Structure 1
Amino acid sequence: LFCLHFQFLLCDLMFFSCCTVVQSGGVLLGSSTILPCHINTNDRLSQITWQRTIKGKALDDVFLTIQPTIGPSYSNEKDFRFEFIGNFNNKNGTLNFSDVTLNDEGSYTCIFSLFPSGKQSRVSQLVILVPPITNLMDYTPLEGNEEVPLATCTAAASKPKADVRWIKGSLEGKVREELKETQHANGTTTTWSTLLGKPGREMNGQLVKCVISSEAMKEEILETNIQVHCKYL
């Protein structure tokens, strides 16, 4: 589910002789991913530079350089989550990036300093996926003719937002769904789906299922039995 799929697009930049853009799939929050950086050329390589464009950092922030004699060297603050797993002699500056957070989302560029062709680069776009915190809450309304909440299913703090739907069983056509969403400052979304209906005694004990799906998790099904407090038994 969380495998990376790469598509290659070529573009020309004024300051690079060639730029290859690598678009990757999503990476699960807290997991590891590979930032690929490899080039096939007979030109002489003097240095590999890694830079990033993410929230809270300067544009094109240089965070790591790799040289043939001293190897990888961190710039400014050291971030040991980046591990050099390539081989300079093979013109491979690939990194393993562990324990990713929401703040790490953005673009990562490796730049090859080559002679005589000049600089060439590879860009990886990192998208962070966050699985939702799920919950199913039921109510015990008093039997009556007014529409009231019967159960609420929640998918909290998901990125991208989760899809929440109901399997209503014998209550199909007798209840309806009401959906609400809140987007948080960190880019995650909380989704609530509430089953509403007129609580009749024929509903009491009926099984309903909440189905939650997201790119960040396998489909999850939560179950509950509708509870109605009947006036007369």
Structure 2
Amino acid sequence: MAVLFCGLFSVILKMSILLTASHLETKHVEAVQAGDVVVMLGSSAILPCHISTNDRLSQITWQKTIKGKAPNDVFLIIQPKNGLKYSNEKDLRFEFIGNVDDKNGTLKFSNVTLEDEGSYTCIFSLFPGGTPSRNSQLVILVPPITNLMDYTPLEGNEEVPLATCTAAASKPKAEVRWIKGSLEGKVREELNETRHANGTTTTWSTLLGKPGREMNGQLVKCVISSEATKEEILETNIQVHYPPGNVNIVERSKVSYECETNANPKATVTWTRSGQPLPQSVKVVGATLQFSSQSNDLSGLYKCETTNPYGSKQAYLFVHFSSGEFCCENKTNKQMFT
């Protein structure tokens, strides 16, 4: 009877040891961690699937839950003897890069699209460990398509758009801000965004202000920040159209005078002689009137007219040649040359 009891105790002790070992090993199997896999649109993703255990592996099952598909959709089964088996239509973008003998079912997923974003789970069928799993959340990043558009408003007192900076179709959405330079406090920015059905977002910011000629040519910078790409800076010079301003006739030499004004677009300059055509000995080079001689018949009133699509302004120059003296007069300057 004592022998029987000792034998029974020995069997119970062995079973207890085996169960304890199996329990410990099962707890180790269940310690598989989840994680995010973040990749750029069109690139390749590594979907990790590995476990450390002495349990016997019968198969590794891959399933996914993505938008527009049934949840926990089984798409691939890996078996030690039979290899890979696709549950539905074969997707050649999935490449098995693991090793069944090492209980590694890792996949390489190439040319990922936005439609592929979602949850990917590999499930190990183990004995006696059960079915531990590893989940990876596939996150797709999309860099923005950037653009900076400037406008050419006419000088005025009403607030109008001066420039628009756009970061289109990005995921996650991009941030858009301005460095205004000398225009700080004179213009304001207005931010808008549109979310698209595919999960991307277009963000754009417009600079608004009252267009004055002092703004023309001022540098502004648009700064675009996104998780999907490094910071990008786009630059432009503000453009404002305005008619010619005050016209000045500037002496370049004793026999040449240049007509100057400020206009955008640049004004064309036309020299004429009051009451008659320009003499052949008087030349116009660009905006400059040139006298090739000091003959008395060149005396007279000359007009400089500056014109662009938004207006025109004039100035007059009176020239008089007599006894070796050259006299000229305009509405802002009176000079005598001998």
Same fold by TM-score greater than 0.5:
yes
Report SS of the residue matched to 2:132. Answer: strand
Aligned to 1:48: 60
Say how many residue pairs are matched: 217
Q: Which amino acid aligns with 2:168?
A: A
Distance between the aligned counterparts of 1:179 and 1:23, measured in 2? 34
CA RMSD in angstroms, aligned pairs only = 1.2
Q: CA deviation at 1:219?
A: 1.0
Of the three residues 106, 111, 115, the one matched with 1:99 is: 111
Of the three residues 175, 178, 185, the one matched with 2:187 is: 175
Aligned to 2:170: 158
Q: CA deviation at 1:152?
A: 0.3
Q: CA deviation at 1:25?
A: 4.7
- Residues 141, 172 of structure 2: 8 Å contact kept: yes
Aligned to 2:81: 69
Distance between the aligned counterparts of 2:167 and 2:31, measured in 1? 40
Q: CA deviation at 1:145?
A: 1.3
Distance between the aligned counterparts of 1:185 and 1:21, measured in 2? 32
Report SS of the residue matched to 1:146. Answer: coil
Identity of aligned pairs, percent? 82
- Residues 164, 211 of structure 1: 8 Å contact kept: yes
Aligned to 2:142: 130
Aligned to 1:22: 34
Aligned to 2:233: 221
Deviation per CA, 1:176-224: give whole Å up to 9, x if none.
1000111111111111100001111111001111111111111111111
**Greater C-alpha radius of gyration:** 2
Distance between the aligned counterparts of 1:164 and 1:201, measured in 2? 27
Q: CA deviation at 1:66?
A: 0.4
Q: CA deviation at 1:226?
A: 0.3
Q: CA deviation at 1:23?
A: 2.2
Aligned to 1:31: 43
Q: Which amino acid aligns with 1:173?
A: G
Q: CA deviation at 1:173?
A: 1.0
TM-score for both structures, normalised by structure 1: 0.90
Q: Which amino acid aligns with 1:48?
A: I
Distance between the aligned counterparts of 1:218 and 1:189, measured in 2? 17
Any unmatched runs of 5+ in structure 2?
Answer: 1-28, 245-261, 263-338
Q: CA deviation at 1:26?
A: 2.4
- Residues 141, 228 of structure 1: 8 Å contact kept: yes
Structure with the greater relative contact order (CA < 8 A, sep ≥ 6): 1 or 2?
1
- Residues 53, 60 of structure 1: 8 Å contact kept: yes
Of the three residues 206, 225, 230, the one matched with 2:218 is: 206
Aligned to 1:186: 198
Q: CA deviation at 1:20?
A: 3.7
1:85 aligns to 2:86 (yes or no): no
Distance between the aligned counterparts of 1:108 and 1:21, measured in 2? 13
TM-score for both structures, normalised by structure 2: 0.63
Aligned to 1:115: 127
- Residues 19, 121 of structure 1: 8 Å contact kept: no
Any unmatched runs of 5+ in structure 1?
Answer: 1-16
The structure in which a higher percent of residues are helix is 2
In structure 2, the CA distance between the partners of 1:97 and 1:111, relative to structure 1 (3 Å rule), is same
Return structure 1 stretches of 4+ with deviation > 6 angstroms. none
Q: Which amino acid aligns with 1:176?
A: R
